[in-house]
A = this chain, B = another copy of it.
Amino acid sequence: MNKSKNNNLLHKLLFAVIIVCSLHSYSQNTFISGMNNMKWEKVMPGVWKASFGTSGLNPLEYSNPPKTASILELGDTPFPFAKASTFYQLTPERAIIRMPLDPLEKIYGLGLEFEGVNRRGGVYTLKVDHYGGVKGYTHAPVPFYVSSKGYGVLINTSKRLKIHVGVGNRKDSKIPDPIDRTTGENWSAQPLSDAIEASIHGDGLEIYVFTGNTSLEVVQRYNLFCGGGTLPPKWGLGFWHRMHTTSTADDVLKEISDFKKYNFPIDVLGLEPGWQSFAYPCSFDWDSTRFPNPEKFVKTLSDDGIKVNLWENPYVAPSSTMFKDIKPYTGSHTVWLGEVPDYTIPEAQKILLNHHQKNHLDIGISGYKFDEVDGYDSWLWPDHATFPSGNDAVEIRQLYGQMIQKIFGDHFKKQNKRTYGLVRASYIGASSSPFVIYSDYYGHKGYVTALVNSSISGLQWTPEIRSAKSAEEWVRRFQTVCFSPMMLLNAWASKTKPWSFPEVTNIVRDNIKLRKDLLPYLYTAFYKYHQKGIPPFRAMVLESGFDAKELIIGGKLDGETNPYEEQKRMEVTDQYMMGSYILVAPVFTGETARKVVLPKGNWYDFYTGAFVGNGKTITIKTKLEQIPLFVKDGGIIPMVSSKKLKNTDKTSLEVRHYGTKENTFELYNDDGKTFNYENGDYSLLELKVSKKNNGKLQGQSKFVNNSKYSYGKVNWRWMSNETQNRQ
């Protein structure tokens, strides 16, 4: 053990000592001067609500209604803390809340974040904006947090919430004794706090508490309360590619032919701004020089099994055919000199939908990429802009992304068509929305952390690929995006193609194929998202048996780099779960080995079936061609068994089993494109692994309801030889 490790351990120990020594003083306050106790009302099992004063736009109105039946299935759990320890206050300036916090509690969530998982110790200003700058400025700053103690709190506001997550000590709460910094060794820049406090500029707030037997159940309940998870069309889980903004219809056909030549699939083809006659601001009308016959163009691609997705930002150019109609409903300020529709007004929504139905959806457009619904202040409308509805510009900005998702989500549903698209801003209650978030930030590690955190806040995130500095980075980024909610290549600006690094073209293709082969498994995971609210891609802290160890390091005085002797928290932010059984551990450029923290239970290598460990941290050597994947004991992984890259329903099914446990997997399938499944039009295939009398495993499959949607013949594959070592 080297010296620096010793230091780390010492610090960790000290930290633990401080916390434990302080424990006795942390009984929860029931009186805070100037504050009032919250009144809690039970909304449904495990869901409570409190409110005070009046609030502005209600974010939950831009979500879907609760899936009550599914919430009832989760059962009931008690209110998670003393109601008398929750407080609110209204001042002339602000609406303020205070929620209790135990010394050892960890707090997760608060939306799309690119660093860390435990938010305790941070002050977040939850503002829809580009990521960067102030903590909480992000594309989806969801004011919902989940405690490691098994409850969640949603502050249902469209204002910018400033939240102190275990930061700050009131003089009339029970606080630790101060420490003299000159002589006291355990002085901390952030003394242990007994509360989460938050405030908005506004006249009231509405707060929900969600409970659960586990943190995952809390997230499920929150997602179900917001309509459950989205079930994408099957094509949405395929391969996405976006064209250069100046591309013509002919360029697209040439590109498709190139993809075929190199044997790469395209399931969805995205057109960037130049499909329009005017962009930045937008006309939303086809450009007749680049796309002289949009209807024929879309049909040609459709006949080839390719969906078309259109880029848009919401700012309306004077030359747009919808400009005159929308103009009465726009705000005081322009964005890139285009007008900003006030979509809190139903009439404005209608104008938008009518135009888009006629020009895009009627000819078969599958969905949209809604850009720039988030930030920056340097080009979006200012906070002081005014809108014809009278709603506050800050609230409209906070909800804009969510609003546009809701408008189009509902519209597609009315037509009984599923869509899947992209959006650069999201908010409360996004789980049921068929849109995936992306951003201009491009850190690969941050992308994985964002994927992890998204799952705690009802969000979906794509670590899209724009470019790479090396073949290795190209592979590593491809692997990550293949194990994400949307397999998206968005390299139009850099003009990099999947085959641009010839030495790794086969590896890239194999990774795409693996993701596509996993469709049956993944599609069922999304169905569980829809039905039970379980995120298909999940943070490890939502996984039972996972020990969210945190290493506390640092705290050394340095006048230039650390004048406050701040400690740094080291967390596991680079691995996550996909579906019920697979643990994904992406590799970053330059790494030849990585650590993987395995939850309790036996785990097996996805590729070989070999036992790798149980409830401990292992270090693995990485291979360029593989993203490390591990499967839980008893894991059943149904995969498409094909040599080709096309998804075809009527192929055969390879069902893998890992480890030694008996288990059952209900494989979901449906038409992949409509909402008929909501009326029972789907099939469930039970895949059952049991032990024969001789102890050997056997697999059986049978349809639970009907056999309408079949993936074909089931071939069992026993991945783990029973004689392999295990704990």
The yes or no answer to A199 lying at the interface (CB within 8 A) is yes
Among A180, A245, A246, the one with the most B-chain Cβ atoms within 10 Å of its Cβ is A180
Residue of B123, B133, B179, B278 near A180 (CB, 8 A) is: B278
What are the residues of chain B within 8 A of A278 when measuring CB–CB?
A: 178, 180
A residues 152-189 in Cβ contact with B at 8 Å? 162, 164, 167-172, 175-182, 187, 189
Contacts of A245 in B (CB 8 A): 181-182
Q: Which residue of the partner chain, among B123, B197, B317, contacts A378 with CB atoms under 8 Å?
A: B123
Contact, CB under 8 Å: B123 / A377:
yes
B162 near A383 with CB under 8 A, answer yes
Q: Does A652 contact B (CB under 8 A)?
A: no
Are A394 and B559 in contact, with the CB atoms below 8 A? no
Shortest distance from the beta carbon of A691 to any chain B beta carbon, whole Å:
52
Q: Note all chain B residues with C-beta closer than 8 A to A190.
A: 378-379
Give the complex CA separation of A402 and B199 in angstroms. 26
Decide yes or no whether A563 CB sits under 8 A from chain B. yes
Asked whether any CB of chain B lies closer than 8 Å to the CB of A318, the reply is yes
- Asked if A559 and B386 sit within 8 Å, CB to CB, the answer is no
B interface footprint on A336-350 (CB within 8 Å = 1, 0 otherwise): 111100000000000
In the complex, A377→B492 CA distance in Å? 40
A68 within 8 A of B: no
Q: Quick one: which of A345-400 are within 8 Å of B by CB?
A: 376-379, 381-384, 386, 392, 394
Query: Which residues of chain B come closer than 8 Å to A181, judged between CB atoms?
Result: 245, 273, 279-280, 336
The answer to whether B336 touches A197, judged by C-beta atoms less than 8 angstroms apart, is: no
The reply to whether B466 and A386 contact each other, CB–CB distance below 8 Å, is: no
Chain B: which residue is nearest A163 at the CB level? B382
Inter-subunit contact B381/A168 (CB<8 Å): yes
Asked whether A199 and B382 contact (CB < 8 A) given A182-B245, A191-B336, the answer is: yes
Could you tell me the distance between the alpha carbons of A413 and B541 in the complex, rounded to whole angstroms? 60
- Answer yes or no: A442 CB below 8 A from chain B CBs: yes
Report the separation of the CA atoms of residues A179 and B121 in the bound assembly, to the nearest whole angstrom. 46
Closest CB of chain B to A269's CB: distance in Å?
A: 18
The prevalent SS among residues of A at the interface is loop
In the complex, are the beta carbons of B91 and A384 less than 8 A apart? yes
A133-B133, A332-B33 known; A442 vs B560 contact (CB < 8 Å): yes
Q: How far is the CA of A560 from the CA of B452 in the complex (A)?
A: 22
A376 to chain B, nearest CB (A): 8
Query: Which partner residue on chain B sits nearest A468 by CB separation?
Result: B560
CB pair B318–A168 under 8 Å, yes or no, is no
Do A333 and B383 touch across chains, with their CB atoms under 8 A apart?
A: no
How many Å from the CB of A393 to the closest CB on chain B?
Answer: 8
Task: Tell me how many residues of A have a C-beta within 8 Å of chain B.
Answer: 86
Contact at B93–A394, with CB atoms within 8 Å?
A: yes
Assess whether A680 is interfacial by the CB under 8 Å rule: no
Are the CB atoms of B332 and A199 closer together than 8 Å? Answer: no
Contacts of A575 in B (CB 8 A): none
Contact check, B171 vs A334: say whether CB atoms are below 8 A apart. Answer: yes
- A558 located at the interface, meaning its Cβ lies under 8 Å from any Cβ of chain B in the complex: yes
* Residue in chain B with minimal CB distance to A124: B377
Knowing A378-B122, A379-B190, A383-B199, the reply to whether A171 touches B559 (Cβ < 8 A) is: no
Judge whether A664 is part of the interface by a CB distance below 8 angstroms. Answer: no
Q: Does A467 contact B (CB under 8 A)?
A: yes
Q: Which of B89, B187, B199, B382 contacts A164 (CB 8 A)?
A: B382
Question: In the complex, what's the smallest C-beta–C-beta distance from A226 to chain B, in angstroms?
Answer: 27
A440 contacts chain B at the CB level, 8 A cutoff: yes
CB proximity of A668 to chain B, nearest CB, Å: 36
Distance in angstroms between the alpha carbons of A277 and B91 in the assembled complex: 37
- Chain B hits for A383, CB < 8 A: 94, 162, 199
Question: Do B337 and A178 touch across chains, with their CB atoms under 8 A apart?
Answer: yes
The verdict on A134 contacting chain B, using a C-beta distance below 8 Å, is yes
Closest chain B residue to A289 by CB distance? B183
How long is the Cα–Cα vector from A716 to B386 in the complex, in angstroms? Answer: 66
A281 contacts partner chain B, Cβ-Cβ < 8 Å: yes
A10 within 8 A of B: no
Bound together, the chains give a CA A190 to CA B336 distance in angstroms of: 7
Q: Which of A34, A333, A392 has the most chain B CB atoms inside 10 A of its CB?
A: A333
- Of the candidates B276, B331, B334, B494, the one whose C-beta lies within 8 Å of that of A559 is B494
| Chain B CB within 8 A of A96 CB | yes
Q: Is A85 an interface residue (CB 8 A)?
A: no
Closest to A171 in B: B334
A201 within 8 A of B: yes
Q: Is the CB of A34 within 8 A of B386?
A: yes
Chain A 422-448: CB-based contact to B (< 8 A → 1; otherwise 0): 000000000000000000101000000
On whether the beta carbons of A167 and B333 are closer than 8 Å, the reply is no
A330 an interface residue at 8 Å Cβ cutoff? yes
8 additional A-B residue pairs with CB within 8 Å, beyond A167-B377, A171-B331, A175-B334 = A89-B386, A93-B201, A134-B137, A181-B280, A182-B279, A190-B378, A442-B560, A494-B560
User: Contact residues of A with B, CB < 8 Å?
Assistant: 33-34, 89, 91-94, 96, 121-123, 133-134, 137, 162, 164, 167-172, 175-182, 187, 189-191, 197-199, 201, 245-246, 273-274, 276-281, 287, 317-318, 330-334, 336-339, 376-379, 381-384, 386, 392, 394, 440, 442, 466-467, 490-494, 557-560, 563-564
A-B contact pairs, 5 of them (CB 8 A): A34-B386, A123-B377, A177-B337, A181-B245, A182-B245
Closest 5 CB pairs of A and B: A493-B559, A199-B384, A181-B280, A178-B337, A182-B274
